[in-house]
Amino acid sequence: MKKIKIGIDGGDFNPESTIQSGIQRLVSSFLVSIPLKQESSLTFYYYYFSKQSAHSNSKTIRYVNLPRKFFSFLFVPLKCFLDRINVYMGFSGIIPPIIRLFKKTVVFIHDFGFYHFPDYYPESEKFIWQTNYSVFAANKIIVFSKTVRNQLLNQFPTIKPDKVITIYPGVNYVIQSKATNERTINNPYFLYVGVIKKIKNIEKLLSLFEVFISETKILHVKLVLIGVKEQSYWEHIIKLPLFLKIQKNLIFLEHVSDKDLVFYYKHCIALLNTSLVEGFCYPVVEALSLGKKVITNDLPLYLEFKPYFEGLRITKSDNDFLLAMKEEFRKKKTVYSVKQNSFNWSKFSSKLLTVVKNIS
């Protein structure tokens, strides 16, 4: 049986630390869902930079902590060469130019936010250049929705369609995790889960929540926002008159474990999302998979989820969004139906490893 060595770019994510972003969720869940016994011919080298080193008890997965400076463009290519990697997997959407010269590559494209909203990203020009290069350099491109696949083929019309493969990530970890029994919020609350940054349209979310309070006169309701804060945007948010007006109704949380996250999902009135761009949106699918109501704006992505989840409400205007919030608040606790779906990490890993084997 052919032995295959696979290099993984983990960026700043220590696999033993708390998950703080969608990319970290992707990497972590892939690592733990690899069927090690069935894939004995594969060896994974996980390259990352962190002050703390991770430890693996498996001979199949090896954690390699590298210097942060020149991580992607020097140390990762060097280690790939020294470790004799056969296939490189760029989970962060980047393929270092040197690697393309001597390795097969798989790149993951998450969304095109920095193309459509360049002013919302501090280094948009750099991201665009890296993506342009990686898309053409990769042997295979993995995307996480049909929507992003269509966007990619429109953005790069010379790319052959069979080079782009759609694989849905999983959310089964929230179904399998047991929620904590400690209720830390006594008030009814709406929920947002995701990074606190401009592209997530947090100001719109706060504005809608303020109007909800103003129109319903329900003063004890809370909005819980779970996610790390982009510092410059956070400093902007806390100076807004809108923020100061509803501050007592807002609860911001960071570094939440999966068990606590499941608790917040299960006890919320509804999950809210008004983001300007989403490539998959783990929180939306996580909440829906637990039978919760999710209220979103009308991004094309969400139409893909509609066949699977009764609880998804896609709104086309602010008034429609507010109406959905009011309707859900008035309901008694409801669990919405979930159809058998493809959002499973074992399926994701199996399909991804098939791609890797085919190009190695």
Q: Summarize the confidence of residues 145-170 as an average pLDDT.
A: 96
- Does the pLDDT of residue 54 top 70, yes or no? yes
Q: Summarize the confidence of residues 201-205 as an average pLDDT.
A: 98
Find tokens 């920095």 and name the residue: 114
Find tokens 């929540």 and name the residue: 209
Q: Which two tokens stand for residue 90?
A: 């760029």
> How many CA atoms does the CB half-sphere of 283 hold within 13 Å?
26
Q: Could you give the domains of the chain?
A: 4-170+344-359 (3.40.50.2000), 174-330 (3.40.50.2000)
Q: What does the DSSP assignment read for 213-238? A: HHHH--TT-EEEEES-B-HHHHHHHT
CA distances from 260 to 167, 183, 271, 351 (A): 27, 10, 15, 30
Q: Summarize the confidence of residues 268-296 as an average pLDDT.
A: 96
Return the higher-pLDDT residue of 326 and 41: 326
Task: Return the minimum-mean-pLDDT range out of 27-31, 97-101, 319-323.
Answer: 97-101
Res 93: pLDDT = 92
**Strands (DSSP E) along the chain, which ranges?**
4-9, 42-48, 61-65, 87-90, 104-108, 140-143, 164-166, 189-193, 222-226, 250-253, 271-273, 294-296, 312-314
Res 300: pLDDT = 94
Q: Which two tokens stand for residue 331?
A: 């309901």
* pLDDT class of 95 with cuts at 50, 70, 90: very high
Res 112: pLDDT = 94
Could you give the CA distance from residue 284 to residue 338 in angstroms, rounded to a whole number? 13
Q: Does residue 172 contact residue 343 with C-beta atoms inside 8 Å?
A: yes
Percentage above 70 pLDDT, the chain:
96
Could you give the CA distance from residue 325 to residue 270 in angstroms, rounded to a whole number? 8
The residue among 2, 15, 88, 110 whose CA lies nearest residue 54 is 15
Q: Does residue 274 contact residue 204 with C-beta atoms inside 8 Å?
A: yes
Q: Does residue 77 contact residue 99 with C-beta atoms inside 8 Å?
A: yes
**Burial (Cβ within 10 Å: 0-12, 13-18, ≥19) of residue 219:** exposed
Task: Return the minimum-mean-pLDDT range out of 113-122, 298-307, 341-350.
Answer: 341-350
- Does the pLDDT of residue 38 top 80, yes or no? no
To 5 degrees, how large is the angle CA 344–CA 347–CA 348? Answer: 85
pTM of the model: 0.92
Q: Does residue 284 contact residue 302 with C-beta atoms inside 8 Å?
A: yes
